[in-house]
Amino acid sequence: MSPTLTELAARVGATVDGDGTVRVSRVATLESAGAGAIAFLANPKYRAQLATTRATAVIVAPAMAGQTALPKLVSPNPYATSAKVAAVLHPATAPAAGIHPTAVVDSGARVAPTAAIGPHVVIGADADIGERARIGAGCVIGAGVRLGEDALLHANVTIYDGCRIGARTIIHGGAVLGSDGFGMAEEGGRWLKIPQVGRVIVGNDVEIGANTTIDRGAIDDTVIEDDVKLDNLVQVGHNCRIGAHTAIAGCTGIAGSTRIGRGCKIGGAAMISGHLEICDGVVISGATQVFDTITEPGVYTGTFPALPYREWRHVASQVRRLRDLAERVRALEKTGPRHAAPARGAETEE
């Protein structure tokens, strides 16, 4: 039976306002909710939908509790509370423990009896698969990999030899961890490959999006600390270190040997050059290009807003002239006020 609002409040740490005996069975948006659904208001621009929603109950902040007569859960962070409610109402289905008959597991690998290994999985020698870990169809786990307890690998994840994946980490389909970093030395006009002998070390409670790639270290390890969240299609170069609780949106590229601090937020399609450091608590806007070390927390933006094409061409033309303008200003500054003609009417009698 679906839980009552009072039961949900106890489980997610919210307060009930109104009829706590109503039952809800799913989470929905204010616009699409119907009977039996609980909706949430996290963005104030949708507050008008509180008056028209057909939800059975809602999740709101204390300041918005008086805006609707519906039964409600009141929380300082409605969005986070909605996530907790969704986890209660829409629990993930865990596969049965065991190894699928089509999986190929090296005789030297260790697989916990509570782990679930899907069809056509390959697990290499000396790999160690932790308790209740789940490995989806078609995954390849290299030799010597350590996969922590309750880790979840969706289908077709590849983890190269020697990598370490922490407890409760989630890795989505198509992600590749531990492939060679882009290490090349030029000699005689040709490229000489530098062996990449480090590993990828991933902490606990990390989530790695679909088709994200994390290169192994050239000598030292590439490290993703606890509770880091990487979106889809993120590229992390060799020898990078990403601090705990940092979140990075899709299509971001991070060149090698970059160190990103704790609690950073990086918008989609940001491009971060290599061999630099970003301190704790930095926010980087989407599509921003970072070329230098950042030593002060704050919001950094380096992209130009979209304009109609003809206007953009005009602005671009003016930007190209800035260097010439700067040189002319510099020349004027060198002459200084001493060399300028006196202002009209400023002559004095001797």
For 233, the token pair is 């299609």
Section 98-125 average pLDDT:
98
For 326, the token pair is 């700067």
Q: In sequence order, what DSSP letters do the residues of 125-156 get, joined into one string?
A: TT-EE-TT-EE-TT-EE-TT-EE-TT-EE-TT
CATH architecture of 5-89: 3-Layer(aba) Sandwich (3.40)
Q: How would you classify residue 7: left for phi > 0, otherwise alpha for psi between -120 and 50, otherwise beta?
A: alpha
For 56, the token pair is 């059975």
Whether 157-300 and 5-89 are alike in CATH topology: the answer is no
Select from 297, 175, 275, 149 the least CA-distant residue to 230: 175
118 and 99 in contact (C-beta within 8 Å)? Answer: no
Name the residue ranges covered by the structural domains of the chain.
5-89, 157-300
For 155, the token pair is 């289908």
For 254, the token pair is 């991070």
Q: What is the pLDDT of residues 270-324, one digit of tens each?
A: 999 999 999 999 999 999 999 999 999 999 999 888 899 999 999 989 989 999 9
Contacts of 337 (CB under 8 A, 6+ apart): none
Section 48-77 average pLDDT:
97
Average pLDDT over the chain, rounded to an integer? 95
Contacts of 290 (CB under 8 A, 6+ apart): 270, 271, 272, 273, 276, 278, 284, 300, 302
> Alpha-carbon distance 46 to 68, whole Å?
13
DSSP character at residue 72: E
Q: In sequence order, what DSSP letters do the residues of 281-349 get, joined into one string?
A: TEEE-TT-EE-S-B-S-EEE--------HHHHHHHHHHHHTHHHHHHHHHHHHHHTGGGSPPPTT----
Q: What is the pLDDT of residues 228-269, one digit of tens each?
A: 999 999 999 999 999 999 999 999 999 999 999 999 999 999
Answering whether pTM is above 0.85, one says yes
Which residues are designated catalytic?
238
Class of domain 157-300: mainly beta
Select from 260, 158, 262 the least CA-distant residue to 214: 158
Least confident of 23-27, 31-35, 129-133, 344-348: 344-348
